């Protein structure tokens, strides 16, 4: 998680890594904005020794003094009605036109029945675009634009500042930076008051007592404004954050002047920093640290619509480009696959041709043997007349009678056809065959008398058991 606060005086960067329930700060950078802005460009990260962060997704956290925060109670619980009411409130809450500002809001449960507390955050569109452009030119990708107030609320809801939930009343968080302070009053995670106070560590930690007393008086005036606006709520604890939290003498002065218990908050639970540079230790990182500790609880996004549209178009273009590359890669793989299949088929055909040449001669010999076996098998199935029956048959033929065909069926049925000089010769042949023991059930199946010859057909059965 990378959170950046590009303030007008200080450039702050915090990178954290999230483990099992804990957050560890892996990098913290604080530089004066006057020193950083000339370095902005493609080599910005390298100039700061942060080249490994190129391309990282960053959250921009605008300082409290750069935005307007308005806390209002709206008489509705319907989100659509609240959105319409917020649109009407925008014109009242800022002197700028709608084209000059960008806004967002988050909702809380209000103490009044039927009301919803709205934390409305407004920023100038030009300022937000400038910050986004500077970071994008430096090689970073901006995914969210929020504010430190939203970071405080997110950390409280995520339990990163759990001591505040145990207080008997509301808790006033005073984040003291070098020249300004952020005052937020929350009651069990619900913001009741937010104010940017124009005093910082330079005034609160000044060597002369009058300057320090004047700075504490300004903080007291801000708290008094809250008491006048919300008389029913009592502040129980003042949580002091930033460099001032490490000054016990300042905490004692604040307790004596404001009549409040002062509890130091040195940072987000479990998050430590290692800063270097002049006055780096005086700069407060608690606001962006809270945002980095609970990114899932951040709800304020001040990204301008034009930037969102541009990012959406770029994202779609990037996805289409990736899809195009994937399609080309798939087509390339398919072409390689098809080419591989064709090559394998060609190799297979070549091998098959070699095998065919090797097996042609044996195949021809085998085919010749098959033909010979077929001829033998065909001849073995032909119904051939037994020699004895032929000898017996031709011995019974009368003179002048001739056979044209003799067949024996599979059931040993003998059929002989021929011609005789007369019908009497045919009857004579039938009687001779009946008298022979080799022929049984002799019948004349057809007799046709012609002018010169008589055609006949005689059928009989060969004996079942030959002697």
Same domain, 223 and 179: yes
- Given pLDDT bands bounded at 50, 70 and 90, which one contains residue 431? very high
State yes or no: pLDDT of 456 exceeds 90: yes
Please provide residue 212's backbone torsions phi and psi, each rounded to the nearest 5 degrees: -65, -40
State yes or no: pLDDT of 285 exceeds 90: no
What pLDDT, on the 0 to 100 scale, is given for residue 277?
A: 45
Asked, for residue 60, whether it belongs to a domain, the answer is yes
Q: Residues near 26 by Cβ (< 8 Å), separated by ≥ 6? A: 15, 16, 17
Which range among 21-25, 148-152, 175-179, 320-324 shows the weakest confidence by mean pLDDT? Answer: 21-25
Across the chain, what does the average pLDDT equal?
83
Which range among 14-23, 39-48, 255-264, 312-321 shows the weakest confidence by mean pLDDT? Answer: 14-23
- Given pLDDT bands bounded at 50, 70 and 90, which one contains residue 455? very high
Asked, for residue 350, whether it belongs to a domain, the answer is yes
What pLDDT, on the 0 to 100 scale, is given for residue 327?
A: 92
- To the question of pTM greater than 0.75 for the whole model, the response is no
Share of the chain above pLDDT 70, in %: 90
- Given pLDDT bands bounded at 50, 70 and 90, which one contains residue 418? very high
CATH code assigned at 81: 3.30.420.380
In three-state secondary structure terms, 375 is helix
What pLDDT, on the 0 to 100 scale, is given for residue 76?
A: 87
CA distance 263 to 254: 11
CA distance 309 to 313: 6
- What separation, in Å, do the N-terminal and C-terminal C-alpha atoms of the chain show? 114
Asked, for residue 446, whether it belongs to a domain, the answer is yes
Q: What average pLDDT does range 22-45 have in this prediction?
A: 79
Same domain, 7 and 137: yes
Query: Using CB atoms within 10 A of its CB, is residue 358 exposed (0-12), middle (13-18) or buried (19+)?
Result: exposed
| 198 secondary structure, DSSP code | S
Asked, for residue 467, whether it belongs to a domain, the answer is no
Q: Residues near 273 by Cβ (< 8 Å), separated by ≥ 6? A: 14, 25, 28, 267, 285
Same domain, 38 and 109: yes
What pLDDT, on the 0 to 100 scale, is given for residue 276?
A: 46
Burial 17-31 (b: 16+ CB within 10 A, else e): eeeeeebebebbbbb
pLDDT digits (tens, 9 = 90+) for 78-115: 889 998 888 888 877 788 888 888 999 999 888 788 88
Asked, for residue 429, whether it belongs to a domain, the answer is yes
Q: Give the largest Cα separation in the chain, rounded.
A: 168
Same domain, 150 and 8: yes
Structural domain count, the chain: 4
- CA separation (Å) from 430 to 126, 190, 372, 398, 414? 131, 131, 41, 10, 13
Judge whether 106 and 150 are in contact, CB under 8 Å.
yes
Share of the chain above pLDDT 90, in %: 14
| Single residue among 349, 382, 415 that ends a domain in this structure | 382
CA distance 265 to 285: 11
Same domain, 26 and 125: yes
Same domain, 321 and 368: yes
Same domain, 64 and 208: no
Beta strand segments in 343-428, E? 402-408, 413-420
Asked, for residue 218, whether it belongs to a domain, the answer is yes
What pLDDT, on the 0 to 100 scale, is given for residue 190?
A: 85
Q: Which residue has the higher pLDDT, 49 or 330?
A: 330
Same domain, 215 and 229: yes
State yes or no: pLDDT of 20 exceeds 80: no
pLDDT digits (tens, 9 = 90+) for 112-143: 888 899 999 999 998 998 888 888 888 888 88
Asked, for residue 205, whether it belongs to a domain, the answer is yes
Number of helical (H) and strand (E) elements in the chain, helices listed first: 12, 17
Q: What average pLDDT does range 247-253 have in this prediction?
A: 81
| Single residue among 344, 364, 382 that ends a domain in this structure | 382
Q: Which domain holds residue 233?
A: 163-267
CA distance 121 to 117: 13
Which range among 232-241, 260-269, 324-333, 435-444 shows the weakest confidence by mean pLDDT? Answer: 260-269
What pLDDT, on the 0 to 100 scale, is given for residue 447?
A: 92
Same domain, 167 and 252: yes
- Sign of torsion over alpha carbons 318, 324, 329, 333: positive
The H-or-E segment that residue 287 falls in is helix 286-293
46 C-beta neighbours (distance < 10 Å), count: 15
CATH code assigned at 430: 3.30.1360.100
Judge whether 130 and 168 are in contact, CB under 8 Å.
no
State yes or no: pLDDT of 270 exceeds 60: no
CATH code assigned at 254: 3.30.420.40
Pairing relation of β-strands 101-109 and 68-74? Answer: unpaired
CA distance 105 to 100: 17
Same domain, 57 and 119: yes
Same domain, 413 and 450: yes
167 C-beta neighbours (distance < 10 Å), count: 18
Same domain, 394 and 355: no
| Single residue among 343, 361, 382 that ends a domain in this structure | 382
Judge whether 24 and 13 are in contact, CB under 8 Å.
no
């Amino acid at each position: 998680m990378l959170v950046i606060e590009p303030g007008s005086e200080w450039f702050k960067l915090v990178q954290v890594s999230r483990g099992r329930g804990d957050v560890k700060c892996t990098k913290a950078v604080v530089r004066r904005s006057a020193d950083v802005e000339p370095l902005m460009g493609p080599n910005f990260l390298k100039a700061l020794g942060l080249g490994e962060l190129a391309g990282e997704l960053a959250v921009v956290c605008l300082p409290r003094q750069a935005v307007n925060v308005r806390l209002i109670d709206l008489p509705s619980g319907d989100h659509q009605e609240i959105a319409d009411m917020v649109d009407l409130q925008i014109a009242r809450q800022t002197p700028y036109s709608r084209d000059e500002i960008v806004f967002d809001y988050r909702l809380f449960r209000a103490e009044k029945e039927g009301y919803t507390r709205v934390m409305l955050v407004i920023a100038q569109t030009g300022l937000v675009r400038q910050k986004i452009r500077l970071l994008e030119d430096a090689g970073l990708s901006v995914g969210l634009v929020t504010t430190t107030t939203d970071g405080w609320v997110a950390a409280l809801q995520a339990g990163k500042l759990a001591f505040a939930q145990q207080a008997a009343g509301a808790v006033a968080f005073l984040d003291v930076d070098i020249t300004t302070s952020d005052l937020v009053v929350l009651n069990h995670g619900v913001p009741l008051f937010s104010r940017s106070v124009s005093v910082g560590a330079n005034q609160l930690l000044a060597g002369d007592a009058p300057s320090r007393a004047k700075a504490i008086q300004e903080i007291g005036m801000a708290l008094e404004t809250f008491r006048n606006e919300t008389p029913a709520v009592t502040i129980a604890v003042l949580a002091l954050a930033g460099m001032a939290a490490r000054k016990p003498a300042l905490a004692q002065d604040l307790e004596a002047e404001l009549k409040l218990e002062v509890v130091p908050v040195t940072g987000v639970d479990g998050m430590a920093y290692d800063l270097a540079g002049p006055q780096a230790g005086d700069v407060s990182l608690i606001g962006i640290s809270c945002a980095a500790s609970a990114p899932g609880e951040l709800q304020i996004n001040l990204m301008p619509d034009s930037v969102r549209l541009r990012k959406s178009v770029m994202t779609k273009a990037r996805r289409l480009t990736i899809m195009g590359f994937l399609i080309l890669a798939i087509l390339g793989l398919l072409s390689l696959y098809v080419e591989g299949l064709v090559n394998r088929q060609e190799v297979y055909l070549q091998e098959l041709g070699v095998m065919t040449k090797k097996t042609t001669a044996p195949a021809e010999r085998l085919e010749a043997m098959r033909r010979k076996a077929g001829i033998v098998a065909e001849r073995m199935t032909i119904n051939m007349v037994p020699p004895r029956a032929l000898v017996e048959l031709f011995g019974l033929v009368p003179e002048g009678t001739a056979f044209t065909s003799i067949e024996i069926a599979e059931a040993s049925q003998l059929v002989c056809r021929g011609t005789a000089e007369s019908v009497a010769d045919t009857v004579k042949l039938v009687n001779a065959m009946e008298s022979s023991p080799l022929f049984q059930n002799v019948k004349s199946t057809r007799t046709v008398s012609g002018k010169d010859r008589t055609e006949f057909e005689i059928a009989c059965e060969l004996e079942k058991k030959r002697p």
